[in-house]
Chain A
Amino acid sequence: MSALDDAQEEVKPDMTPMIDVVFLMIIFFICIDFKVLESKLSAYLPKDKGSQSSVVEPQEQLSVKIYVESAGTPEYAAGGSAGAVNPNTGRPFRFKLRDHRVKWEVGPKPLYNLDDVLKELKRIAADPSSQVPDKATGGKKLMACVIEAYPGTYYEDVAKTTDACAEAGFTEVNYGGGLGAK
């Protein structure tokens, strides 16, 4: 065997490690895609409920009400129906809600889409009269807003409204409760 033949044999690359690494990367990225990132919104509740006998001083808050305009139609996946249990999961079949519409009332103003709600919230946030005394610092702060979801509204409606409040600059968002089922 000549020296030239030797050199030709040595340049054959071993593909095995590269293929291994490629497979590892494929599995890694497939699994990462399955994990949807979760996040959270802090909805801290009043600490003083039931602990004070004195009358609580009322706070000036912006009221954002959500009402149902159209309840919507649940659309079940194949094989599913209302009240039926999915034998694979042991839980009720999931549905998507079609044509569900809500309307809002920001302060006294009725609004019919989320963009208008955001514009109105931004206008209110920029208004100097929306500043209220801040007991903690002695200065001023933007008033809190309270989201009151009326019967028939869904978590999605409240989440989108909360997002709009946050985008407009409201840092303190409270949730009115006790409005019951539809």
Chain B
Amino acid sequence: MDVRKLVQQNVEMDMTPMIDCVFLLMIFFVLVIDLSQKNLEDLILPRAVYQEPDDTPPENRPIINVLQNGSVVFEKQVAYDPAVHGKNFAPIKQLLLDIRQQGLNTGRLKLKEEDIGGRMVPLIDDPILIRADKWTEWHYIGEIMKQCSQPEIAFWKVELAMSEQDKETGEKNPRLTK
């Protein structure tokens, strides 16, 4: 065996560890970077036992986040800040009107005509999710719900986000501890 052949044999690379690392990185990023979470603020939701699982959320569902200080955040933008707007809740109404208009324009939200008291009334047939921190004063959430029920907004399917586990106390629902 001459020297050239010996050198050629030694340069063969073992690809297995590199492929392993690539797979590990892929799995890590798939699990960590969940694009559906981009509208979610880092909040601690209240724990509720009697709730519906939200395992397969509708893609078109608008998500409104309410921070502890009452700030209303939609797609990372603060729409209402109590320190700035005080009791002027017009920005919340405007936000809901914008969500409605944009949703209808893009076809993400659907209108449904319903017979209410003998009149056909157009209502948004898709849900809207309100996510609030457990230590958010209720009246901020109540205000959003009040605005949602206005006839020009008509989001009647309001959902309140809960958690199966309280991240503050560590308490879990019985079905998670089984």
Using a CB–CB cutoff of 8 Å, the interface residues on chain A facing chain B are 16, 20, 23-24, 27-28, 31-32, 34-52, 54, 74, 83, 89, 91-92, 94-97, 149, 151-160, 162-163, 166-167, 175, 177-182
Contact status B121-A38, CB under 8 Å: no
- Give the segment of B3-11, B95-103, B148-156 that binds chain A: B148-156
Chain A residue numbers with a CB within 8 Å of B163 are 36-39
Q: Is B90 an interface residue (CB 8 A)?
A: no
Q: What is the CA–CA distance of A44 and B146 in the complex, to the nearest angstrom?
A: 12
Q: Among B68, B123, B131, B146, which residue has the most Cβ atoms of chain A within 10 A?
A: B68
B residues contacting the other copy or chain, number (CB 8 A): 70
Besides A24-B24, A156-B46, 19 new A-B residue pairs in contact (Cβ under 8 A), listed by A number: A31-B28, A32-B31, A34-B32, A36-B45, A37-B164, A39-B52, A39-B54, A42-B159, A45-B149, A46-B149, A47-B121, A47-B123, A52-B116, A92-B69, A94-B68, A149-B142, A154-B135, A155-B141, A181-B139
Q: Is the interface of B mostly helix, strand, loop or mixed?
A: mixed
Q: A27-B27, A159-B134 are in contact. Are A36 and B160 (CB under 8 A)?
A: no
Q: Is the interface of A mostly helix, strand, loop or mixed?
A: mixed
